[in-house]
Amino acid sequence: MREEIITSGRMNPLIDPYLNAWHWQIPLYLFLGGLAAGLLFFAAYFIIAGKENKYQTTVKYGPIVALGAIVIGLLALVLDLKHPAYFWQLYTTIRLDSPMSWGAWVLLLTSAVSVVWIGSYLKEAFPKFGCKIGFMRKLLKIIIEEKDNNSWNWKFNWLQKFEKYAQDKRKAWAWVMVVLSVILGVYTGILLSAFNARPLWNTAILGPLFLTSGLSTGAAMLMIMTKNHIEKLAYSKIDLLLIIIELFFITHMFMGFLASSEVKVEAAHYFLGGAYTVTFWINVVILGLIIPAILEALELLKFKIPVIIPGLLILWGGMMFRFIMVDAGQVIRYLY
């Protein structure tokens, strides 16, 4: 016969309440926001560096994917709201002490700047845009006119002036976009770290870690998109460096947890032998970081590696990282 002295009811499952407010919409939004930040950062950086001719896919097509990612992310965010019809109220005020207020305005400004950027490159990126558009041709003829089989122009004078202004000020817009993309990438981590009551999230390393992960996923997406071998090789090198930095931040995060208070130690143990160990280390660290790093290193050593494999693995790891962190952060809580 086994006797136990019961001093607490906490050994009973689900006796302690845990946060269950954020579902798939939030980690998807964080992933797409980080991806957009990475794509926009590289597009702006190579304009500032004067290397736009070598990185055509990055500067012309990357921002289009970034804008699509932002739009989908915002739709996911609206779906998560209790009253989606009132999302516009986020823009009726600015609260400097609220990460969500910062995020709403940064996303709005980033979207606007990316539209200006895309507009300045639209004719170069899609020279036959107005000629072979199929069922949308009649609709597009409202604002564009065909010059010949390989070019088109805006019908309205104000659109032509806007395009010329955006083209003349590309470098200035690039500086704005670099700043906004870095803020957007860091914000995706700060949104979580601002929750003092969630021990897994409440660490200053999340901002730089999410920024690095966003840059890595952006580089991976561009590596998949481009057909230029020099561009692919450049992003293999960039991504390899970002993976090393990301692994350093993850290691530093867990070391910080283990050297901190008891609740932080418990948070680390969820990933070091606990419920999230297998999911995190297989999907994020092994599949999402280590294997892509090995494949990219082999590619740099002249082995023929299809870039889509490390690229997709990095995107998978970046997405799973957000899903796991959001879910685990709601489960891990203060008990004393």
pLDDT at 140: 64
Exposed, middle or buried: residue 189 (CB in 10 Å: 0-12, 13-18, 19+)? buried
Please give the distance of CA 99 from its chain centroid, rounded to a whole number.
17
Give the tens place of pLDDT for each residue, 33-42: 999 999 999 9
Can you read off the two tokens belonging to residue 267?
Answer: 């948070």
Model confidence pLDDT, tens digit, residues 164-204: 887 888 888 899 999 999 999 998 888 888 877 788 888 88
- Total domain count for the chain? 1
**Is 9 inside a domain boundary?**
no
Radius of gyration of the chain (CA): 23
Residue 39 lies in a domain: yes
Asked whether residue 32 is domain-assigned, the answer is: yes
Alpha-carbon span 186 to 208, nearest angstrom: 6
11 part of a folded domain: no
* pTM, full prediction: 0.86
Q: Would you say residue 19 has pLDDT above 80?
A: no
Q: Name the average pLDDT for the chain.
A: 84
**CATH number for the domain harbouring residue 249:** 1.20.1630.10
Least confident of 79-93, 131-145, 175-189, 274-288: 131-145
52-65 residue pLDDT tens: 888 888 998 999 99
- pLDDT of 281 strictly over 90: yes
Residue 2: inside a domain: no
Quote the domain boundaries for residue 194.
Answer: 25-331
Overall residue count recorded for the chain in this entry: 336
Within-domain flag for 232: yes
Does some domain include residue 16?
no
For residue 324, tell me if it sits in a domain. yes
CB neighbour list of residue 189: distance below 8 Å, 6 or more residues apart:
206, 207, 208, 209, 210, 211
Query: Tens digit of pLDDT for each residue in 286-328?
Result: 999 999 999 999 988 888 888 899 999 999 999 999 999 998 8
